[in-house]
Structure formats: structure tokens, C-alpha cells
Amino acid sequence: MLKRFTPIITVVALCWVVFLINNLLWGGQLSHYGVIPRRAGGLPGILWAPFLHGSFKHLLANTAPLLILGGIICARSKSECSAVMAAGILLSGGLTWLCARTASHIGASGLVFCLFGYLASLAYFRRTMGTLLLSALCILGYGGMLRGILPGSTTISWESHVAGLVAGIACAWAAARIAPRSRKNLSTTAPEAPRAIDQIR
């Protein structure tokens, strides 16, 4: 059963390991390697930023929603969760690099907003009773986090929150378009039933 949740457990574990190494051994120097918008040197930060956190409070604030939202997607499908997180990291990081203010943007909050956006918009794109209940529960439980997409404290990357939300909705849209094609391909490639032979041997 735990194998199903491997993707999200791995991501959260990496966040904690990197935080401990960065703050206990390297004095927080890795925090300078986040997403630095519109600079070529800041492009690698798209991959590193979700695993970097500036403080224990920052890490703790992201851990619970990562485990809960990611765990819900893993419960649906381990491969679905892996795909959403990978696409979410790249897309939200890319949008942050393109549009955010100049700073080193770090933290997994962009990924948290991606997972939320994915779950919250599933019902709109798939329109089944299951996704309707899932989206409703997600919005009721975590809808308050949408306040984080509004500009506020200069130390909070609201831009990465917006980018993550957009990335999550885009992932839900893409998943809804891919699923019908997969089902169609399975039905068209199913082997034909053997023909009846009117002969007694």
C-alpha cells in the first residue's frame, strides 16, 4: 500500500534532506540557487527551487499540504501523481522565471498550488461524480490558500503561487484530453473474437 504513495513521500523527504544539509552544513548557501527570473543562470533553479526552503517554518508550512494533496492524487494513481508533479515543477518554475520579480524564488509552495489547482479543476474538465466530489472536498479543505495568489509580503513569492495554480489547471486539462484517447486506443486495439467455424471435427 505504501508503494502507491512513493512519489509524494520521496518529494517531501528530499525537501527535508536538502533543508537539513543546506542549513546545518552549508549555512543556507543553497538558497541562492532558486528561480532567478529572466537570467540564464536562474534556469537550473526551476528544478532545484521546490526542494529549497528558507526556514523551518517555511518547510513545515509546505509539508502538510504536499502530503495531503499529493497523497490524494497518489491514491488515484501513482503514475498520475508523478506526471502532475514533474509537469507542475517545470511549468510553474518556467512561468515564475518568465514573469516574477527579480529575486531568488524558492520553496515547494508553487508545487502545492499546482496540486491544489489540479484537484480543484478536475471536475470542470472530466465532469464525473467522482471528480466533482474530489474537487469539492479539495476546495472546501484548501480553498483558503487562494489568498496566497494576491500580492502581499515582499518575502512571499505570490508569483510562484499563481504560476503553480495555472500549471495545475493546465495539467488537469491535459489529463482530461489524454484519458479519452487512451480509452479509445485500448478499444480499437483489442483483439478480435475468434470466428465460429461451422464444422465438426
Distance CA 54, CA 65 (A): 18
Note the pLDDT of residue 180.
62
Average pLDDT over residues 133-147: 94
Tell me the C-alpha distance between 11 and 17, whole Å: 10
pLDDT at 188 over 70: no
Give domain 2-181's CATH architecture.
Up-down Bundle (1.20)
pLDDT value at residue 195:
46
| pLDDT at residue 85 in the model | 98
pLDDT at 76: 93
Quick check: 1 pLDDT over 80? no
Any idea which of 4-8, 41-45, 73-77, 186-190 has the lowest mean pLDDT? 186-190
The pTM of this model reads 0.88
Tally of residues, the chain: 201
pLDDT digits (tens, 9 = 90+) for 77-122: 999 999 999 999 999 999 999 999 999 999 999 999 999 999 999 9
| Distance separating alpha carbons of residues 108 and 106, to the nearest angstrom | 7
C-alpha grid cell for residue 108? Answer: 515547494
Over residues 159-166, mean pLDDT: 97
Q: What is the pLDDT of residue 127?
A: 87
pLDDT band at 182 (very low <50, low <70, confident <90, very high): low
Rg (CA), the chain: 21
pLDDT digits 0-9 by tens, 19-51: 999 998 999 999 999 999 999 999 999 999 999
